[in-house]
Structure 1
């Protein structure tokens, strides 16, 4: 049997192949997740669905996907990396092929649910292939930064290629590409094997029960966060039922794991001060990072901008994400994490604040700089935070890796959904507020209002002879204008809120850095500052 070469002795050419394979795996998984969610308005017609019904495609995908990574850690340890990789890629290829048989909303939801299950190993494989390409000294620095950068690239690429794919064949056009990428990735797994690790029987019967409860809890939370804003939180009783079920199942997981000698998830460690702080930092980051994915994207739709008008903007976002990731890889050195986080939060705050001055005349050209700052800041922030948390988990022992994965999974998957839900709800509430304020100022006796109604109704003057009907058309058009302006003001408030959150996080971080600096000169400050 041939000896496996040490990771540090891998040739540059072979290392480049592993990096390319990792990027392809991340892109395949990312496009599979984003192609449907980014084009719900375009594909709902071919699926005979309303906009709310089409949102179930995203919910069906996320429900199983948000928790599966936790189970895959032990499955990989017990059955080996090679078997895990082979089964994972074959499962994804099969799920991609199933998109060919989608004919309506119901079949699409079923296929998306299966795709969510099949996609979970793909992101794990992407990380493993990127780590494989680097020596141990660079796995938690350069490799981790590049892997996390690859996770941010699929979203802008989706927006760039979607118009052509939709023209080819709506839903089937979108997922023919995913199927092709999956088939390209298939031989990579067999031709570029991962370094094998020792097998161990680590899965216990109680693990299965704990995971099933965790999957149900996280899945219910994911569905509520995706659909809650659309059905509205207090209007649909089933939303409350799902939340209650998630509370029951997750509480059961906690009770079970606290009473096990070898728990699947170390609840006591997760409840420690360091991990709670780590989780809070990642949640705040995901909330601020939603500025680009949740607020800006919907703002473009409000303005009626089409993909061809936004192409240059998405190219800039793609380049900024890549540039931010490469800069982070260069800065990933011991002691630089705080400086990188300060830079990232400053860029996120600046970009969000610049966007908060948008008007109905704002076009992509006015958002090039701000969105580039947000994209680069997003790519900069996450790698140092994850490296710090992963190092803390390794210091406690290999068994704590799974607990760390659960924390990271919750903050990124569920945290991303929370950001979208929170900002979407905030925009809806603020739109109602601004609409009421603007409507109060619309009085027909006001000469400016009467003049505006006359201008708006003038376009129908040749088609409508009746003066009352013509005036009614003018009032209706003015109402549409008020609604549009109220929405724009609401999105400005959301941009500003994201900036304030980023600035608050930056202020807290600067205070912590100052305390650390003072502690070097006066150690007695540490207990007082951390109590």
Structure 2
């Protein structure tokens, strides 16, 4: 490998490093920092596909196993719910920040170095997790995992792009992204068994084993080289420190806000204000640079803002599953073992959505518009189906609705990538970091913001329903009095003291009231998602219709306009 200084003179920015190989047209890397796609036998393509799956599961399962089993980890480490939330927050805080630098790292040091260095760091972090026995070390290791884990998604996509012929690069790209979406459902399927085998340490051992296997795999099946260019400049340091710090503070506030409660902890307000200040200063610094990390002019254009806001809202709606459905099942006291078939269905639907979304575009790229409408329609339909839950609801009742939402979520990733690439190709691949950061921000912050809003809404609605239901449980209400007496009488054979028996019966009634209030509140959450999805569907149709009308009008005007020489002659006359 040709060595080069970390910071090159400004005149050399964008210039190739070393000799550029002579590739065939279909073998060219999509951009500097991405691998080439050389011709290779089918057997080797299969190997790349297997490594892609391994990398995707390694990266997605790493954080999913912690998220899914957070209560178990809290119990074994003796952590409070707030301390447990810091474990997931620390990962996301560093993960979202690293996307500002990873593209430039690949461009300057090459995709091969990118794969080996960051995967080795991730494996080191995974092994270190096995030694975690306290809260501070747990947070530190999760933060370090976030730094290295940010690269796993890119590695998965790069290996996936080698599995299909060059003419199917888009399909390979979408399949690679789809693989990374399988972590959560697979984690929920396998976690009960893994916990039974040896507690949360077994989960850490699985993560470490996958990481080490991935290190071996990428050395045995090396990624093809791409083009390297001079990318880093000193001003990147200040931009990264400002923007990364601000975004990390946003992640912390959104992750901890509901648990600490938004207006009761001063540090939440201070952190939010500091995040706004840091991002604003970083944005101003970027706006004045000749070669910024973020293309601020493009990012603030009307069309790009509409694109970013629309995918942010859809990502927020997709919190229906991790917040709404999972929370509902917890309120119904469903054990993890009872949910395995539900999440197996979710995993299958996610895979189906990925494949349908990718290969339907081979019929026509214009189908991305139909996929966009289908995504919102399926989310609305699935939420409406879930909004009629009762205490009799079981996981089997949610199979169809969650399959629809999961299918939509997987297909939505293809919509985001295709629409983003359309914007990027019109702007130029020099703004690739802006697109990558937009994708990361909308997915991470959208998920956190959606989760924060929906969980807060559920908490408020639960308190409302509990107060309403409690009003009916008065001694003057004959039906309520009879219900209370029934529960009190149920303990007649086990509790001799009438006062203690009455207290126990009232406690059971209170628990049932709280459960019913939570179920009604989750129904409200599902209805809220349903109406927002419908509203966004209408707005998307309106904006799409307006764009098509303007395009048709311009085409008609161009077709009826006189030739240039006729207009010129008329002007002379």
Q: Which TM class, normalised by the smaller chain length? A: over 0.9
Residues 1:352 and 2:377 aligned together: no
Query: Could you tell me which of 146, 150, 159 is aligned with 1:116?
Result: 146
Residue range with higher mean Cα deviation, 10-19 or 147-156: 10-19
Q: Deviations over 1:283-319 (max 9, x none)?
A: 1111111111221112111111112211111111111
Q: Distance in 2 between matches of 1:225 and 1:171?
A: 26
Question: Does the 8 Å CA contact 1:515/1:525 hold for their aligned counterparts?
Answer: no
Question: Does the 8 Å CA contact 1:214/1:250 hold for their aligned counterparts?
Answer: yes
Q: Distance in 2 between matches of 1:137 and 1:273?
A: 32
Question: Does the 8 Å CA contact 1:10/1:133 hold for their aligned counterparts?
Answer: no
Q: Deviations over 1:245-292 (max 9, x none)?
A: 101110111110111111111111100011101111111111111111
SS at match of 2:75: coil
Q: Deviations over 1:23-77 (max 9, x none)?
A: 2111101111111111111121210112232121111111111121121010111
Question: Does the 8 Å CA contact 2:353/2:410 hold for their aligned counterparts?
Answer: yes
Q: Distance in 1 between matches of 2:545 and 2:275?
A: 40
Q: Distance in 1 between matches of 2:502 and 2:124?
A: 59
Residues 1:288 and 2:346 aligned together: no
Residues 1:96 and 2:121 aligned together: no
Structure 1 unaligned regions, length at least 5: 527-531
Residue range with higher mean Cα deviation, 126-135 or 110-119: 126-135
Measured after TM superposition, the shift of residue 217 of structure 1 is 0.7
Structure 2 unaligned regions, length at least 5: 1-18, 28-36, 558-573
Question: Does the 8 Å CA contact 1:222/1:417 hold for their aligned counterparts?
Answer: yes
The match for 2:497 is: 466
Change (3 A) 1:134 1:8: farther
Q: Structure 2 length as normaliser, TM-score? A: 0.88
Question: Does the 8 Å CA contact 1:355/1:492 hold for their aligned counterparts?
Answer: yes
Question: Does the 8 Å CA contact 1:337/1:385 hold for their aligned counterparts?
Answer: no
The match for 1:194 is: 223
Measured after TM superposition, the shift of residue 196 of structure 1 is 1.8
Residues 1:134 and 2:138 aligned together: no
SS at match of 1:460: coil
Q: CA RMSD in A?
A: 1.9
SS at match of 2:151: helix
Q: Deviations over 1:167-196 (max 9, x none)?
A: 222221111001111111112222222232
Q: Distance in 2 between matches of 1:321 and 1:440?
A: 44
SS at match of 2:490: helix
Q: Distance in 1 between matches of 2:187 and 2:438?
A: 28
The match for 2:468 is: 437
Q: Structure 1 length as normaliser, TM-score? A: 0.95
Q: Deviations over 1:109-132 (max 9, x none)?
A: 221111111211111111211223
Residues 1:60 and 2:90 aligned together: yes
Aligned ranges for residues 238-387 of structure 1 at < 5 Å?
238-332=267-361, 333-387=364-418
Larger radius of gyration, structure 1 or 2?
Answer: 2
Query: Could you tell me which of 133, 138, 160 is aligned with 2:189?
Result: 160
The match for 1:529 is: none
Residue range with higher mean Cα deviation, 379-388 or 419-428: 379-388
Q: Distance in 2 between matches of 1:135 and 1:33?
A: 32
